[in-house]
């Protein structure tokens, strides 16, 4: 019997959905396998979860924050792997949506760096707070140690906005018992020799400065992981 046009379209749609579901399952399985392999290869697995500042906007992968941080930690004797889960342009809302698959099984610690794009776009501080709160809650439920990297707001939004936005980070770190690094771009923001031509994103030297300043805090994070394991 000939299928109607509607039946044929439905069949094609179902076939596409089944193929898509199979690909999702295969990808998830691969991600879990990779996480387990990495877990076996390094005693502490850290995910750097953020936006373009983490991803390494316009930088080669070896110059991005996660790669430079991993190298610095290994030079100091730490057996670690630092995964790059940065997405350029990401907001706290986007981070919340992708959290569960971007931070795979086997993750011991997360460096959470989000909020810069919320502030640049004038997103309500209450919205940014709620998203970061939810991210921290989920990570705590998974018993993943967190270093929360703070952000600053452009001053053009006015004092009320700036004050509301910038108190998000210390208050949430205190609420969730997370470590706090007050400002991710400390020593780099507004320093022409440390940023790209856009005046916003760190160049390789700027990333090196970020790593230098945040390194003691990351070592404290690793200490928390080691303590929890013992």
> Does 119 lie in the same domain as 200?
yes
Residues 161, 125: contact at Cβ < 8 Å? Answer: yes
Which CATH number characterizes residue 158's domain?
3.40.50.1110
Tell me 189's DSSP state. T
> Does 197 lie in the same domain as 101?
yes
Report the pLDDT value the prediction gives residue 15, as an integer from 0 to 100.
Answer: 37
Strands (E), 27-186: 44-50, 80-86, 109-113, 145-149, 179-181
> Does 80 lie in the same domain as 145?
yes
Report the pLDDT value the prediction gives residue 229, as an integer from 0 to 100.
Answer: 85
Provide the residue range defining the domain that includes 1: 1-41
pLDDT 10s digit of each residue in the chain, 230 long? 333 333 333 233 333 333 333 333 333 333 434 444 444 457 999 999 999 999 999 999 999 999 999 999 999 999 999 999 999 999 999 999 999 999 999 999 999 999 999 999 999 999 999 999 999 999 999 999 999 999 999 999 999 999 999 999 999 999 999 999 999 999 999 999 999 999 999 999 999 999 999 999 999 999 999 988 88
> Does 157 lie in the same domain as 76?
yes
Q: Both tokens of residue 196?
A: 């790209």
> Does 16 lie in the same domain as 111?
no
Task: List the catalytic residue out of 118, 176, 201, 217.
Answer: 201
> Does 175 lie in the same domain as 109?
yes
Read off the pTM.
Answer: 0.82
> Does 145 lie in the same domain as 35?
no
Report the pLDDT value the prediction gives residue 38, as an integer from 0 to 100.
Answer: 43
Q: What share of the chain is helix, strand, coil (3-state, %, to 5)?
A: 60, 15, 25
Give the number of domains in the chain: 2
Q: Report residue 80: phi and psi, to 5°.
A: -135, 160
Segment holding 58, helix H or strand E: none
What interhelical angle do 168-176 and 125-141 show, nearest 10?
20
> Does 9 lie in the same domain as 103?
no
- Could you confirm whether 153 is annotated as catalytic? no
Residues 225, 73: contact at Cβ < 8 Å? Answer: no
> Does 113 lie in the same domain as 185?
yes
Task: List the catalytic residue out of 4, 160, 197, 198.
Answer: 198
> Does 20 lie in the same domain as 100?
no
> Does 125 lie in the same domain as 161?
yes
> Does 125 lie in the same domain as 115?
yes
Task: List the catalytic residue out of 51, 52, 108, 153.
Answer: 52
- Could you confirm whether 198 is annotated as catalytic? yes
Burial class (CB in 10 A: 0-12, 13-18, 19+), 147: buried
- Could you confirm whether 176 is annotated as catalytic? no
Report the pLDDT value the prediction gives residue 217, as an integer from 0 to 100.
Answer: 98
């Amino acid at each position: 019997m000939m299928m109607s046009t509607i039946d044929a379209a439905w069949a094609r749609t179902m076939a596409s959905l089944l193929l898509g579901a199979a690909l999702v399952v295969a990808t998830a399985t691969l991600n879990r396998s990779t996480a387990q392999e990495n877990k076996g290869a390094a005693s502490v697995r850290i995910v750097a979860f953020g936006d373009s500042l983490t991803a390494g906007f316009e930088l080669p992968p070896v110059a991005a924050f996660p790669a430079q941080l991993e190298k610095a930690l290994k030079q100091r004797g730490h057996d670690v792997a630092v995964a790059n889960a940065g997405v350029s342009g990401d907001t706290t809302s986007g981070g919340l949506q992708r959290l569960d698959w971007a931070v795979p099984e086997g993750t011991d610690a997360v460096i959470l760096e989000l909020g810069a794009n919320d502030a640049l776009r004038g997103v309500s501080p209450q919205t940014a707070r709620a998203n970061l709160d939810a991210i921290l809650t989920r990570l705590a439920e998974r018993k993943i140690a967190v270093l929360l990297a703070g952000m600053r707001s452009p001053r053009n939004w006015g004092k009320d906005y700036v004050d509301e936005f910038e108190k998000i980070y210390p208050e949430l770190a205190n609420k969730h018992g997370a470590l706090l690094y007050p400002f991710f771009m400390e020593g780099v923001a507004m320093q022409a020799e440390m940023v790209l031509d856009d005046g916003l994103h760190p160049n390789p030297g700027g990333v090196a400065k970020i790593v230098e300043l945040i390194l003691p805090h990351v070592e404290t994070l690793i200490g928390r992981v080691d303590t929890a394991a013992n």
